[in-house]
Amino acid sequence: MDQIDLSLKIAVEKADELTYKDFKKKYLIPGKPVLLKGLANMQPAGKKWTIDWFKETMGELQIGVFDNNVKKHLYSTTVNPDMKMDFGDFLDLITKDEPSTIRMFRYNLYKQNPILRKDFSCPSFIKRFNPMRRFGFMFLGGKDTDVRLHYDVDYSNVLLTQFYGRKKVILFPPEYSKFLYQVPYNTHSLVDIKNADFDTFPGLKHVKGYEIIQEAGDGVFMPSGHWHYNTYLSGGISVAFRKLAVSPKGLLKGIKFMTLTMPFDKMMNFFLGQNSASKFVIIVISSSFLFSFHDGTGILSMNVNVITSPELIFRPFGYLTTAVLEALI
């Protein structure tokens, strides 16, 4: 069985021994990922934020959670929670040592409990000149829950800190985007990383990525534009802080997506509905044609497939619009 090449070596640093100057020079400016050991323990939350502590202080809070078994999540960057439950009950579910499909993401932890900023604020590595430094988002999931391959909609840098459990993070640098089969008007890939199909997606043979095991206490810096796929190896809790892209091109790409692409995605979901894929069976024929607006080497080769995704209706328009907009920036 073909396997995606994950042979790129991630840099590893001790967080308390890395200066901001060195982080900026080695990782932020060149856009290189790094595993920061012990990042959580540089602030009080590293020892304070346990499962029992969260249940005691926030257990009765009502939260929206997502179920990976609900297929609507495949078709849009903008989906609503599938159910609501008490935070404490959710923590009980994800900390069981058994597979789960339930997760919670982009939860605005500090909006619900501003005092938590004293426990864990934006890490110093991305805090300077950062208008997003007050926005920390919590991500939680049960064992074997995964987050499909995507890059972040605003093209920002992300620093993800793990407080509980273990996670596998797979990263692909942005130069491999043309081989990752992006859904038009979306930041997600059609590729199932766990079951990569090289016959349907032959461009995958050109891709190289990083495979990172993130332990409790670790931070992973994911530079602007990097594709990422996360799997919870156990129930886990993490917090992400963001920093806008440092390059003008990255900033413009983020603005383009937030102001043009995402509104179009929302509009199509408004008219077609997030569950519209179950109402359509689309035969997509795009066999062995050359396509690249970058260097002419990108090959998209798909057999005749039956694909239940309404966004693929707009694939040709997606290619054209992306080419025009990228030419402008």
Residue 59 contacts residue 39 (beta carbons within 8 Å): no
Between strands 146-150 and 227-232, the pairing is antiparallel
At 272 the pLDDT is 65
Quick check: 239 and 109 in contact, CB under 8 A? yes
pLDDT at 266: 73
Please give the Cα distance from 170 to 148 (Å, whole number): 10
| Run of H or E residues at 248 | helix 248-256
**Among the listed residues 239, 108, 264, the one whose alpha carbon sits nearest the alpha carbon of residue 185:** 264
Residue 283 CB neighbour total at 10 angstroms: 9
pLDDT of residue 71: 52
What does the pLDDT read at residue 299? 38
**Cα–Cα distance measured from residue 44 to residue 116, given in angstroms and rounded to the nearest whole number:** 10
pLDDT in single tens digits along all 329 residues of the chain: 579 999 999 999 999 999 999 999 999 999 999 999 999 999 999 999 999 999 999 899 888 888 876 555 455 555 677 889 999 999 999 998 888 888 888 788 788 888 889 999 999 999 999 999 998 999 999 999 998 899 998 999 999 999 999 999 999 999 999 999 988 778 889 999 989 999 999 999 999 999 999 999 999 999 999 999 999 999 999 999 999 999 988 888 888 878 877 777 777 766 666 544 333 333 332 333 333 333 333 333 333 333 334 334 444 444 444 444 344 43
User: What is the predicted pLDDT for the residue at 279?
Assistant: 35
Tokens for 185? 């008007």
Q: What is the C-alpha to C-alpha distance for residues 182 and 189, in angstroms, rounded to an integer?
A: 4
pTM as predicted = 0.80
CA angle 32, 220, 65 (to 5 degrees): 130
Q: Give CA–CA dist 51/141, Å, rounded.
A: 13
- Eight-state DSSP code of residue 45: H
**Residues 222 and 158 sit within 8 Å (Cβ to Cβ):** yes
Q: Please, where in the chain does CATH 2.60.120.650 lie?
A: 5-249
Burial of 128-159, coded b for 16+ CB within 10 Å and e otherwise, reads eebebbebbbbbbbbbbbbbbbbbbbbbbbbb
How far is it, in rounded angstroms, from Cα 42 to Cα 44?
A: 7
pLDDT value for 302: 35
Q: How many CB atoms lie within 10 A of CB 93?
A: 16
Tokens of 281: 């069976």
- Give me the torsion for CA of 293, 296, 297, 300, rounded to 10°: 60
Q: What DSSP character marks residue 31? A: T
Give the list of residues 6+ apart from residue 59 with CB closer than 8 angstroms, or none: 86, 87, 88, 91
| Number of residues that this document lists for the chain | 329
pLDDT on residue 282: 34
For domain 5-249, the CATH architecture is: Sandwich (2.60)
Q: How many alpha carbons fall within 13 Å on the CB side of residue 172?
A: 29
